[in-house]
Structure 1
Amino acid sequence: MQQLPDLSTLSSTQMGALVLELWAVVQTLTAQNNELQARLNLNSRNSSKPPSSDGLNKPQPKSLRKAGQRPVGGQKGHKGHTLSQVAEPNVVVTHAPPEHCDVCHGSLGQASVVEARQVHDLPDLRYQVIEHRVLQWICNCGKTHRGAFPADVTTAVQYGPRAKAAAVHLNQYQMLPLKRTGQVMGDLFDMPMSEATILSANAEAAQVLAPTVAAIAQELVNQPIVHADETGLRVNKSLHWLHALVTEKLTWLGRHEKRGMTAFVEHGLLPLFKGTLVHDGWASYRRLGGRHSLCNAHHVRELTYVHEQLKQDWAGRSIKVLLSANSLIHQLRAQGQIDYAAPEHQLQVQVLRGLFEATLVEGDLLNPREQANGQRGRIKQSKAANLIGRLRDYSDDVWRFMTDPNVPFTNNVAEQAVRMPKVKQKISGCFRTSDGADIYCIIRSYLATLNKQGAKLFDALTQAFQGAPVQPRFG
């Protein structure tokens, strides 16, 4: 460590130079400390970090909705699920009074129903065994005539379509690990299954459903608006990537070793898409054709960081402008009173964008961009400066939700699609093989799509094992 010089021997000029040098070191160390402290303060509320990364130090929940925006309880139009009596019960148990009065001891005669109460419960869930027997006859002429087993009865002992559908549903959609899936099958149905049996059922389901999932992928390519996202996937201790393309009614998931353009090309979907792609602003999506729309939920989180951690008020005003615009467009769409080409609407957009740009100008003053100093390569900028540049450079994509029908404010539907695979990894660990990950993507794509369309997933899987999978609705 360099020793401090004897200050008594320094001239005023040397003393001034030393002070400037020490001040520069203080400034550098302060900036480094602020950056490290800012990293520690990153969480799911003010960055793209997932909630699972918050650990035990979770941030205090803070809704961006205004107080009183929605009434307490179920919202208008929400379908309730209150337990109610049915008209035709399966079993009726009567509870009659005594045959004689306990006062006068006279006969009470015929009683009538005055009140009914119903108990909704499950029947005995123990499995049943169906035995298929083949008969044969020998004709008088000597020829033997023999019956035939159904095409799907191929071995001496096997599991039926409903049993395999239950196992696949629990393991692939409800995300139970293989061992626990076998245990649940034993606890609920007295039919414990081995891990190998469940894996075999998964592979069989994926083989049957692969053509349907391919049709889902092709339909997504032809949609006017599609959401895209990607997330890391652990496969045999290596980092792979789960890619998602979704709409409100369709979901497609695919695995690849790469995250960017190589994966896009080999999957063969995004390069063919010509509509509006909604995403989080990752650079590889920019290399694709068509129009783009950026997820403003990401922008709000990043602006929250600048506002709360860096104490810059312009970011708070930026959030208010974005949320006000989103509230306005929701209100207009709900009322059916929106004409995107009308001068009045275009004026509203211009006013809101003008207010937003004014906040960015204020942010420029507090976060000046670092200038090139002769070194090669890009100059590292602060997080706030990078955010301001992105919001300005891609302003049309930030405000696409205000100018394009059906383009949403966020990319939430895509983020929801990749959330459950992350949950599965936390419960069950990584995928052991790439084939296992591919099987999961096929089955999850199919079930997530049918779930969005209101189908009963267990019945759909049962029909798939019977060779006639339910097809999703397109168009």
Structure 2
Amino acid sequence: MHELPDILTLTSDQMVDLIRQLLARVAELEARLSKNSHNSSKPPSSDGLAKKKTQSLRRPSGKKVGGQMGHSGQTLERTNAPDGVVPAPLPDRCECGASLPSADARIAERRQVFDVPVAHYHVIEHRALQLRCPCGREHISDFPSGVTEAVQYGPNVRALAVHLTQGQLLPYGRAAQLIADLYHLEVSPATLLAWVQEASKLLQPAVACIAEALVQAPVAHADESGLRVTGMLYWLHTVANDTYTWYGVHARRGMEAIAAQGILPKRIAVLVHDCWKPYWQLDCVHALCNAHLLRELTFLLETTDQEWNQRMIDLLLTANDTCKEARQRGEQELTPEQIGQIMTGYQAILRSGEAVNPEAAKKTGQRGRTKQTTAFNLLRRLRDHADEVLRFATDLSVPFTNNLGERAIRMPKVKQKISGCFRTVDGANNFAIIRSYLDTLHKQGYNLLDALRQTFQGNPPQPASG
């Protein structure tokens, strides 16, 4: 708490200065209370009971809600090869007393019911055969590769368990219960944990290839978020693009973790991020997430009513629309005139904002930096990193936001919400490895259950390159 001086001992100038400090403090606290998920980087879950209807930063398209004209719908289609046919029986005789032979009946109408079968596990017994040759030599046949125990589980149930716990994020106990309910097969949570450890080991080479692909990718996204491990705060780091996703867990958040993970320090191409300070130490081409900037501008617009905030929001969104239209036309870049117009408007808005948010002067005898307003700090960032903010306009291969990086973080956060935390560091690392593989293959159109099945058969599908 701030200790207030004895008011009776203050001079008039000191009293004015104190009032100004208190007013600034009140304004800061009120602004902090007004922050929510649509005008800051706070998650929607932090809005609490007072949360409002979600406000999107995107502009209305003007189109009607629902499917658009020309959109190909999807519905359940009749199959020409049903697995079974159940004819509805006719009566043996007509009301007039005449016989109605079923062999003469024709199909009046067909209706089909799609459903899943009631499943039950099945057991395959492998038998090694033994035979003695007349010459006296004994011959014993070999078991198939992978059949190594007297009693063991097969690759299908192993794949299902890993997919349920690491892909669909079910806790081990609930996953074991679901397998028992579906297939009448009792599997302990400890067995599921062992399968996850086995899958993690088998998938490490594939995930190393994912990491190397992201080093070479022309555009990548980076983000990080806190993760509870062994009751302590660890950090989940991600690097992603539209083809690959990589996760890593580390006890640190900054450059120590980034250097240890060894992906971002090797990159020289574009890296999209949220302007977090350690990223600027990387020797690559930087691009900033405009979704973060739009939320900050929205916050200032709601708390200051300064018109330059709305002008900057409009400029960034209009520039993004221009880029989208250019990509749809197959163009590789905007024209110099279009880029010049965006740059000129950007700089004009900055000057307008700086005129009403001057830098606070340093007081006589003051040590350290002078505290600046939120608006001034944002304006300075927008000016210092103008090239990075507008990278999406000068290079059409660069997205407007860091959505791919942030989206990669969401599912691990769901995992943490469901399970609370990871009990061991190994468990967190196993999750990061398997999730890297599954998210990458999902982006590349693989069937994840089938991929895990092949993994437990010793032949995991490798992510496509390029």
Which deviates more from structure 2 when the two are superposed, residues 345-354 or residues 234-243?
345-354
Query: What residue is the counterpart of 1:385 in the other structure?
Result: 376
1:347 to 318, 332, 337: 337
1:131 partnered with 2:122: no
**C-alpha separation between the residues in 2 aligned to 1:322 and 1:178?**
46
2:446 to 434, 455, 468: 455
**Structure 1 residues 81 and 163: alpha-carbon distance in aligned structure 2, compared to 1, 3 A threshold:** farther
Structure 2 contact 224–237 (Cα < 8 Å) conserved: yes
- The Cα of 1:104 is off from its aligned counterpart by 6.0
Query: What residue is the counterpart of 1:8 in the other structure?
Result: none
- The Cα of 1:442 is off from its aligned counterpart by 0.7
3-state SS of the aligned residue for 1:413? Answer: helix
1:100 partnered with 2:93: yes
Query: What residue is the counterpart of 1:274 in the other structure?
Result: 268
The AA in structure 2 aligned to 1:200 is A
- The Cα of 1:432 is off from its aligned counterpart by 1.2
Query: What residue is the counterpart of 1:315 in the other structure?
Result: 309
**C-alpha separation between the residues in 2 aligned to 1:144 and 1:35?**
88
3-state SS of the aligned residue for 2:336? Answer: helix
Structure 2 contact 131–140 (Cα < 8 Å) conserved: yes
- The Cα of 1:63 is off from its aligned counterpart by 2.5
Write the mapping of 1:53-202 to structure 2, written as runs, cut at 5 A: 53-74=46-67, 80-103=73-96, 105=98, 107=100, 110-202=104-196
Structure 1 contact 101–108 (Cα < 8 Å) conserved: no
Which deviates more from structure 2 when the two are superposed, residues 32-41 or residues 455-464?
32-41
1:431 partnered with 2:431: no
3-state SS of the aligned residue for 1:148? Answer: coil
**C-alpha separation between the residues in 1 aligned to 2:6 and 2:353?**
41
Q: Deviations over 1:361-392 (max 9, x none)?
A: 22223322223334443332222211111111
**C-alpha separation between the residues in 2 aligned to 1:46 and 1:310?**
13
Q: Deviations over 1:36-87 (max 9, x none)?
A: 1111111111111122222222232223333344442235787754222122
3-state SS of the aligned residue for 1:56? Answer: helix
Which deviates more from structure 2 when the two are superposed, residues 82-91 or residues 376-385?
376-385
Write the mapping of 1:224-239 to structure 2, written as runs, cut at 5 A: 224-239=218-233
Query: What residue is the counterpart of 1:251 in the other structure?
Result: 245
- The Cα of 1:331 is off from its aligned counterpart by 1.2
User: Identity of paired residues, percent?
Assistant: 48
**Structure 1 residues 107 and 91: alpha-carbon distance in aligned structure 2, compared to 1, 3 A threshold:** closer
Query: What residue is the counterpart of 1:293 in the other structure?
Result: 287
1:25 partnered with 2:18: yes
1:371 to 350, 361, 373: 361
**Structure 1 residues 79 and 297: alpha-carbon distance in aligned structure 2, compared to 1, 3 A threshold:** farther
3-state SS of the aligned residue for 2:346? Answer: helix
**C-alpha separation between the residues in 1 aligned to 2:381 and 2:294?**
13
- The Cα of 1:337 is off from its aligned counterpart by 4.1
Which deviates more from structure 2 when the two are superposed, residues 73-82 or residues 282-291?
73-82
**Structure 1 residues 158 and 108: alpha-carbon distance in aligned structure 2, compared to 1, 3 A threshold:** closer
**Structure 1 residues 211 and 152: alpha-carbon distance in aligned structure 2, compared to 1, 3 A threshold:** same
3-state SS of the aligned residue for 1:60? Answer: coil
**Structure 1 residues 214 and 84: alpha-carbon distance in aligned structure 2, compared to 1, 3 A threshold:** same
**C-alpha separation between the residues in 2 aligned to 1:76 and 1:319?**
30
Q: How many residues align?
A: 461
**Structure 1 residues 304 and 423: alpha-carbon distance in aligned structure 2, compared to 1, 3 A threshold:** same
**C-alpha separation between the residues in 2 aligned to 1:57 and 1:384?**
26
**Structure 1 residues 76 and 393: alpha-carbon distance in aligned structure 2, compared to 1, 3 A threshold:** farther
The AA in structure 2 aligned to 1:203 is Q
Structure 2 contact 213–465 (Cα < 8 Å) conserved: yes
**Structure 1 residues 152 and 99: alpha-carbon distance in aligned structure 2, compared to 1, 3 A threshold:** same
1:216 partnered with 2:206: no
3-state SS of the aligned residue for 1:227? Answer: strand
**C-alpha separation between the residues in 2 aligned to 1:264 and 1:284?**
9
3-state SS of the aligned residue for 1:248? Answer: coil
Q: Deviations over 1:432-461 (max 9, x none)?
A: 111111111110000001111111100000
The AA in structure 1 aligned to 2:442 is N
The runs of 5 or more residues in structure 1 that have no matched partner are: 6-13
- The Cα of 1:259 is off from its aligned counterpart by 1.3
The AA in structure 2 aligned to 1:74 is G
Which deviates more from structure 2 when the two are superposed, residues 248-257 or residues 92-101?
92-101
3-state SS of the aligned residue for 2:49? Answer: coil
2:391 to 400, 405, 417: 400
Structure 1 contact 184–192 (Cα < 8 Å) conserved: no
Structure 1 contact 96–111 (Cα < 8 Å) conserved: no
**Structure 1 residues 224 and 359: alpha-carbon distance in aligned structure 2, compared to 1, 3 A threshold:** same
User: Scaled by the length of structure 2, what TM-score is found?
Assistant: 0.94
Which deviates more from structure 2 when the two are superposed, residues 399-408 or residues 19-28?
19-28
* Aligned CA-pair RMSD: 2.1
Q: Deviations over 1:128-158 (max 9, x none)?
A: 1111122212334443321222221121221
User: Scaled by the length of structure 1, what TM-score is found?
Assistant: 0.92
**Structure 1 residues 187 and 76: alpha-carbon distance in aligned structure 2, compared to 1, 3 A threshold:** farther
1:419 to 383, 390, 410: 410
**C-alpha separation between the residues in 1 aligned to 2:454 and 2:289?**
38
**Structure 1 residues 249 and 357: alpha-carbon distance in aligned structure 2, compared to 1, 3 A threshold:** same
Q: Deviations over 1:407-449 (max 9, x none)?
A: 0000000100011111100101111111111111110000001
Structure 2 contact 323–396 (Cα < 8 Å) conserved: no
**C-alpha separation between the residues in 2 aligned to 1:236 and 1:4?**
50
